Structure 1
Amino acid sequence: MVYFVGVDVGTGSVRAALVDATGTIRKTSVKEIKIWNDLVDHYEQSSEDIWSCCVRCVKDVCKDVDPELIRGIGFDATCSLVAIDVNEEPLSISVSGRDEQNVMMWLDHRAQAEAKFVSGLKHDVLKYTGGSISLEMQTPKLLWLKKHLKEQWDKSRWFFDLPDFLTWKATGCDSRSLCSLVCKWTYNGRDSRWERSYFEQIGLEDLLLKDACKIGGNVNSPGKPIGDGLSRRAAEEFNLLPGTAVGASIIDAHAGGLALLGCSVANIDESFESRMALICGTSTCHMVVSEGPVYAAGIWGPYYGAMVPGLWLNEGGQSVTGKLVDHIIETHPATANIRRKLRDGQHVQHYLNSLLVTMAAEGNHDDICYLSEDIHVWPDFHGNRSPIADPTLKGAICGLTLSTTEKSLALLYLATLQALCYGTRHILESLKSSGNASIESILICGGLSRNDLFRRTQADVLGLPVVCPEEKESVLLGAAILGAAAAQHFPTIVEAMKMMGGKGIAAYPNDALKAYHDKKYRVFLKMLEHQNLYRSIMKT
């Protein structure tokens, strides 16, 4: 048996997995990583802390395995910006000036003015980002750095997307992933070039000097072998063999997409183009691939070859999902008492799910969903990524009372889950109205995918089967697929996806609930309309 290692750097932790060639995860390890939030909208990390956690996790999952049997390693990470100075050391991107804080996280929203400026220029490149640039992408963040930390800017040697920083540390090779550059840096994947006029227009033309060496001149598709594999230094850190294949990296959500699209489900179309992949974590990403480009307002893409070779990718998203559910629960007065009552291993969400079943029975409701008739949530507590593409939108709750009981929390929690599902419907309808009408199933992974109520609600709201893979750690599996592709254990990365993707179990929609969710969805859209109306009134 041969093995591959997948390394996933998420928002709050590093994880690694030892995976065999069938896609079965044999062992995992996790380490928390530091986050600084010194100023409002400023979220920073340390690349050295992240790498140290990667080393510890990889050593942990590989410690009982002959290094000869570990053939490849793949990395995914959040689309955070890493700054490295001319001495190849961390370069601060923080107003604090501390060099260790050299990673501007994906959820950092300091570049709001820069994103607004860039979007207002209406360059043609924006047709590949839904018509505007997101402040979560890298060019607004780079523009902020150049404007506000010019001294640091002048000291820079490289700016990496975090996934590419990891492959650089592993191989010593300055290689960039097509996935990261196309999705977050405005690189033209179809023609394999940077759009010079765009960088000149926004004032970042200096990044293209010397064959764009600061941001990427050597570009590879996800899973392509990087350099000569693990460098001697990295191999010693990992306790692996020098030359072990390292695959070109991928963004974390897209790693989940690789594994999900390869998942096999009985009686459900397995063509990649018929599926939407939902990767649920702190935020949620919605991945759809197609043979031709689809331009949808407020939806990122189309991105050529960014996830699956030869296919175009569209990416919708919700800025906070898992984090929003946690926020709703943690800020409610009843939560502390619930935690005292939990049995060993029981999650608060599972407790609330059970409580909702009891409440529905007490109210003679045919389904839990009817309990939320008088409470409605607009879930954009951290702005809207898709399809409105407005980072200034705020969250809203309608139907609050003075109650602080467990039941009041359960109702708010239910309405929040439903609102997240209506957000997915909003994204899906935008894609369909723009020409991508072939979606027949939803595949889901990540934290919220483990919540049965959330899965069933998604199915009922969307009117589509929602599939959860038997192998729960799809993002880690996707990273390992990159390692398998780099080691050339399979002829192509598509073959690796199909052979390692495993099987899934589907939840099917309850058609009897459609009318109720249609009405709730109308309220959902009305809440957006009202928020914009209130803004208009306050500006007059």
Structure 2
Amino acid sequence: MSPAAAPPISFVGAIDQGTTSSRFIIFNTKGEVVSVHQLEFEQIYPHSGWHEHNPEELVFSVEACIDGAVKKFEEQGHSKEQIKSVGITNQRETTVVWDKTTGKALYNAIVWTDTRAQDLVRRLKNRLGSSELTSRCGLPLSTYPSASKLLWMLENVPAVKDAYERGVLAFGTVDTWLVYKLNGGPARDVYVSDPTNASRTMFMNLETRDYDSDLLDWFRIDTSKVKLPKIVPSSDPEVYGTLASTVLKGFKITGCLGDQSAALVGQKGFKPGRAKNTYGTGCFLLYNVGDKPVYSKHGLLSTVAFDFGPGEVMYALEGSIAVGGSSVKFLVDNLGFSESSAKVSALAETVEDNGGVTFVTAFSGLFAPYWIDDARGTIFGLTAYTQRGHIARATLEATCFQTKAILESMAKDSGKALKELAVDGGMCNSDLVMQTQADLIGIPVERPAMRETTALGAAIAAGLAVGVWENVEDLNGINVEGTTIFKPQISEADASKQFERWEKAVQMSKGWAN
């Protein structure tokens, strides 16, 4: 009698649609990257403070990445039939509007970093009831959530206003747009969003995880004139449809998480008290607070961590830093400090400290926990002694200081101090940044060897929906080998002294945009 054949090895694909590039990554069941394809796309800056993407280019780049990664996967001797499902993770507040009858975008996507709605937000803050919004949706009024971006387009873009008046306007964050287009657009009309993305619009009630009629009324959004995506769980075998094109045509999409929630899931932050910081273009710290939302009194956002179905919903406190890795890119592209972002850390290591320089990297205002819209990038402490290495070091430190400010707010809001911080994202490749971070926050920083945790989170959401993993306990052993732990090496007094100087610089950076 011949021995039974071994069960076929399963894989999961993850679309990672970020701010500067799209990727498709194929993972095995151990959470290891088997194949990846990445494409950058155009960043459009029509005016100071404006930031746009071409919505069609986002879709094309994703489709090209799927084909590219699957080709490499098959070249390794695998078969695409081994890919059990596909997950999506995406830049969150970035807003797309289209004509629901044709599926054509009506304007460029307005990116989460965009600050054009500043005057509109100022007007909204004076409207009766503005102070009560956060207690329903978890977000403060600012240029950051999708609501202000949609309202700006309704006021300023004739094609959008016209579609609204005719009742054919469709609105969505990038997840909704991708799912809609990848399913084939108006023909199938798959029009959904998961709670981690929908909670970034200001239209969703955090407790019910559904649209809040009072919020929509307050923003004067008429839902008979604009279509809002149906809010569905982050992990589901049916609701996200199937791919209509690419080499994976007919394959199911079964999971979706906004990028920061995906990173928390990829870092296995399934239980209350777990936190992660993603050092990407911006910087995002999420802290799992359990199955009920905690509303911040210290400048943080309340958001959905993930919704894996009944009894498996977790909430998070979030601190967002507008400028993280993009400050390093700024030194390279705008000031010519080095030929690549990767070498900025080496430049910073050519000096022993920041030489008295503090750089508040408020290129588009300061986000959590400060929320200072009119702050701008400001360098303090320049002297004849200052070298490029000092400025490089101060640039890297800016992200670490803001992370400390967020952690202190999280401790106050949750009543619990964090014991350790899991990290991922491009900037965490720098040992200098990670050591500086551990020194300033006074707790260990854990960096996994495989740092594609955002895409891994999307793969986990998709895999759980189709039984690749039975439950979150099945995931305990993935991505644990090769973790580096950075322990604090300076005294608490030293850390406090450095932080006081940073806080002074923050206060002095206010008001430049007025």
Q: Which structure exhibits the higher relative contact order, with contacts defined as CA atoms closer than 8 Å and separated by 6 or more residues?
A: 1
Contact 2:22–2:62, Cα closer than 8 Å, also in 1:
yes
Residue 324 (structure 1) aligns with: 327
Distance, in Å, in 2 between the alignment partners of 1:376 and 1:132 is 28
- Greater Cα offset, 318-327 or 194-203: 194-203
* Structure-1 residue corresponding to 2:105: 91
Distance 1:391 1:130, change over 3 A: farther
Tell me the distance in 2 between the aligned counterparts of 1:165 and 1:131: 22
Per-residue deviation, 1:57: 0.8
Q: Quote the offset at 1:134 in angstroms.
A: 2.4
User: 1:377–1:40: structure 2 CA closer, same or farther, 3 Å change rule?
Assistant: closer
8 A Cα contact 1:82 1:165, kept in partner:
yes
Q: Distance in 1 between matches of 2:116 and 2:335?
A: 29
1:454, CA displacement in angstroms?
Answer: 0.5
* Pairs aligned (count): 485
Change beyond 3 A, Cα 1:88–1:391: farther
Residue from 166, 174, 180 that aligns with 1:162: 174
CA–CA separation in structure 2 for the residues paired with 1:241 and 1:118: 45
Instruction: Give 1:300 deviation, angstroms.
Output: 4.4
Alignment of 1:327-476 (within 5 A): 327-332=330-335, 335=337, 339=339, 347-356=342-351, 360=352, 371-402=353-384, 408-476=387-455
- Coordinate RMSD, CA, aligned: 2.6
Q: Would the alpha carbon gap of residues 209 and 306 (structure 1) be closer, same or farther in structure 2, given more than 3 Å must change?
A: farther
Amino acid at match of 2:358: H
Give, in whole Å, the separation in 1 of the partners of 2:49 and 2:115. Answer: 5
Report the Cα offset of residue 421 of structure 1.
Answer: 0.9
> Counterpart of 1:142?
150
TM-score, normalised by the number of residues in structure 1: 0.83
Match of 2:266 in 1: 259
Structure 1 residues 116, 413: CA separation in 2 closer, same or farther (over 3 Å shift)?
Answer: same
Amino acid at match of 2:242: L
Counterpart residue number, 1:185: 202
Q: Deviations over 1:205-254 (max 9, x none)?
A: x1x238xx7112x22121223437414xx2xx321251x23124221222
SS in 2 for 1:274: coil
2:190 aligned with 1:197: no
Match of 1:524 in 2: 502
CA drift of 1:45 comes to 1.4
Q: CA deviation at 1:200?
A: 1.6
Cα 1:228–1:478, aligned 2, differ >3 Å: closer, same or farther? closer
Structure 2 distance, partners of 1:51, 1:200, is 32
Match of 2:4 in 1: none
Contact 2:242 2:252 (C-alpha < 8 Å) held by counterparts: yes
Flag the 1:77–1:298 CA change in 2: closer, same or farther, 3 A: farther
Task: For residues 236-282 of structure 1, give each alpha carbon's deviation from its aligned partner in whole angstroms, at most 9, with x where no partner exists.
Answer: x321251x2312422122211210135xxxxxxxx732332111111
Go from structure 1 to structure 2 and tell me whether the alpha carbon gap of 1:178 and 1:469 turns closer, same or farther (over 3 Å shift).
same
Note closer, same or farther for the CA distance 1:87–1:449 as it changes in structure 2 (3 Å cut). same
- Equivalent pair of 1:128/1:300 in contact (CA under 8 Å): no
Q: Does 1:118 align with 2:130?
A: no
AA matched with 1:327 = F
2:485 aligned with 1:507: yes
User: Aligned partners of 1:490, 1:439: CA distance in 2, in Å?
Assistant: 29
Task: Please tell me whether the aligned partners of residues 92 and 152 of structure 1 are also in contact (alpha carbons under 8 angstroms).
Answer: yes
Q: d(CA) in 1 for partners of 2:335 and 2:219?
A: 44
Deviation at 1:331, TM superposition (A): 4.0
Which is helix-richer, 1 or 2?
A: 1
Deviation at residue 129 of structure 1 after TM alignment? 5.8
Q: Show structure 1 runs of 5+ residues with no match.
A: 94-100, 263-270, 361-370
Q: Any conservation in 2 of the 1:274–1:439 contact (CA below 8 Å)?
A: yes
Shift, 1:513, TM fit: 4.0
Counterparts of 1:175 and 1:198, CA distance in 2: 19
8 Å CA contact 1:6, 1:476 repeated in 2: yes
Flag structure 2 segments of 5+ consecutive residues without an equivalent: 1-8
Counterparts of 1:56 and 1:332, CA distance in 2: 33
Measure the CA separation in 1 of the matches of 2:430 and 2:268. 21
Does the Cα contact within 8 Å between 2:359 and 2:377 map onto a contact in 1?
Answer: yes
